Structure 1
């Protein structure tokens, strides 16, 4: 009986001892991990307090002042150049080329000979028709005398007059044909590269050379129908082309199309450009900048000062405190137009305010800044 009582007591004692050991391990782990996490939280809290008292270091930025300005609204489209006078010189009558009187790329004047075609057959025909004309003239003179003396009838006189007129027309036809065989410049300009050679047989319509007048030039472009009420003859246009980077050619609108294209809903516009140095050539295409509508008033800033966002465009305005410390404040603005590296702000800014033009990516609202304008963006 005593042995049986002692066995359960020992088992209970062992379970109690194990529970105490587990409890002690749990307490130790809680103390260890609590110390680790508590220490990290305390360190982070102290670091945050130190940062809050210390503040942000000043950021070096470039600045510029906003200036009051007035801009005319502009529209940019693509246009192409066309000569006021330009044509492909072609043969009107078939024949062999016997002479070329111009050099490719040369300047010619109206009436200058370009190409001569073989005219031997036409000359022979002219001589024959001239002989017939002289005969009909003599016959007509004799019939008139006879008619005056009542020795010839009125029918004889009318026949002689008709024969003379026919002979005269034949001579004039021969002369017109010979003139067409002497191909001349129809207007002054510059010829292109010749397309025929001496001895070549040409048919009517065969291209001989292209002739263009380079000053002035016509600039053709199209505008959306929404701009129809704003465009008018006399508006200034500026034409730029990649062949002359950085150079602008000025002109003015001289004609507006008579209808809106039903397929594109655009209207054709034509401007005239002066080209005294003949730098431009017909067929060139480039960018057309056309001033439209009423002037926009606002302040101009470098476009690098604008931070663009779907939620609204903004700038950083620099202000100075009593101790001359500079601070950048973010401000939402409304941009009316952009051109040539500048932006016209029509709301949110006033003339004279100082803006950050470089270094915005390092800024937050209210951060201190230091202006350094020796290096501009």
Structure 2
């Protein structure tokens, strides 16, 4: 009897505890529902306006900077370096001596060939004097003449070999790193130093075959490189390849750029705009006002709902060129429409918003309440 009463007391206690837990949980759930059902305050956003402007037509591509003249200087004959006349990074003019090699043996060989040529010339003159007197045959005369010409050829050969012991700059340009040292033996074809002509300079890039009709020699070109942000190099299209690559269906284009400060270097990756001599009207937005993703680009257009409250409308758009931080919108947006300017990821379609600043009106300084200067 006592056991049954104790069991009943335990059951009642458990029911009271569980009832309390379930009651508190139900109360909290109701409070949360009540909280969520309350209208959310409008999100603070920055707005911008789609603007109509005139852009010069251009074709954007990527390419690589190439020297007009750029080689790795090497020797044609073997020898030991006698004197170095340059340092890494020097600027040189055409014909400047870069190094000389020991030439004692070649100078001796040249003196020998000159002596042989002098003797052959004297023998030819004697033969020439005897031929009219019928003292020698025509064959002997021809042989003497051939010996003289061969001796002179050997002199020229020795002279050319001697001159190749002096390495000169083939054109004006900037030198790279010195790859040889004083007293080093140079086998034929040993790299000595790189030399590049840097002003002007080429940029080679490719365009699609469908754009070929829109590019011609003489068109203006603007190029930028990652190493020099914010700087634009200008030039003109100087050549277009005569064939199209069958693998990529693209054609190579070469432009010549001005590079007076020699800031562009061969091998730099470049973004190139080929400008056509024509203009077109476009609708543009700041880059931050557009969400770019694999499912399609979109913007949040600002609209008023039936209650007159400003809300967001998600709208898919198509984009075109990008220039100076603004993107061309080619479809689904009209000039004058207002859109959300930044922080698109924290918004959703139909969300109430409140504009805190607009690019058409001066922004307010949060601390002083005065208009911030642009």
CA–CA distance in structure 2, aligned partners of residues 295 and 227 of structure 1: 16
**Residues 295 and 365 of structure 1: CA distance in aligned 2, closer, same or farther (over 3 Å):** farther
Q: Please say if 1:227 is aligned against 2:249.
A: no
1:374 corresponds in structure 2 to 364
Query: Which ranges in structure 1 are unaligned for 5 or more consecutive residues?
Result: 1-35, 320-324
CA–CA distance in structure 2, aligned partners of residues 113 and 359 of structure 1: 62
Contact 1:333 1:345 survives alignment (8 Å):
no
CA–CA distance in structure 1, aligned partners of residues 243 and 260 of structure 2: 32
Contact 2:285 2:329 survives alignment (8 Å):
yes
What is the TM-score when the length of structure 2 is the normalising length?
Answer: 0.74
Superposition RMSD on alpha carbons, in Å?
3.7
Alignment of 1:263-302 (within 5 A): 263-291=247-275, 296-302=280-286
Q: Please say if 1:129 is aligned against 2:119.
A: no
Q: Which has the larger radius of gyration?
A: 1
Query: Which ranges in structure 2 are unaligned for 5 or more consecutive residues?
Result: 1-25, 358-362, 366-371
1:198 paired residue among 182, 186, 189 = 182
2:329 corresponds in structure 1 to 345
1:184 corresponds in structure 2 to 168
For residue 358 of structure 1, report the CA deviation from its aligned partner: 4.4
**Residues 60 and 188 of structure 1: CA distance in aligned 2, closer, same or farther (over 3 Å):** same
CA–CA distance in structure 1, aligned partners of residues 219 and 134 of structure 2: 76
Contact 1:303 1:338 survives alignment (8 Å):
no
1:63 paired residue among 17, 25, 47 = 47
CA–CA distance in structure 1, aligned partners of residues 282 and 224 of structure 2: 27
2:16 corresponds in structure 1 to none
1:336 corresponds in structure 2 to 319
For residue 269 of structure 1, report the CA deviation from its aligned partner: 2.3
2:90 paired residue among 106, 125, 134 = 106
2:125 corresponds in structure 1 to 141
1:240 corresponds in structure 2 to 224
**Residues 294 and 314 of structure 1: CA distance in aligned 2, closer, same or farther (over 3 Å):** farther
**Residues 234 and 114 of structure 1: CA distance in aligned 2, closer, same or farther (over 3 Å):** same
Contact 2:300 2:349 survives alignment (8 Å):
no
1:75 paired residue among 52, 55, 60 = 60
Shifted more, 343-352 versus 310-319: the winner is 310-319
What is the TM-score when the length of structure 1 is the normalising length?
Answer: 0.73
CA–CA distance in structure 2, aligned partners of residues 205 and 363 of structure 1: 67
User: How many residues align structurally?
Assistant: 328
DSSP-derived class of the 1:260 partner: coil
Contact 2:42 2:352 survives alignment (8 Å):
yes
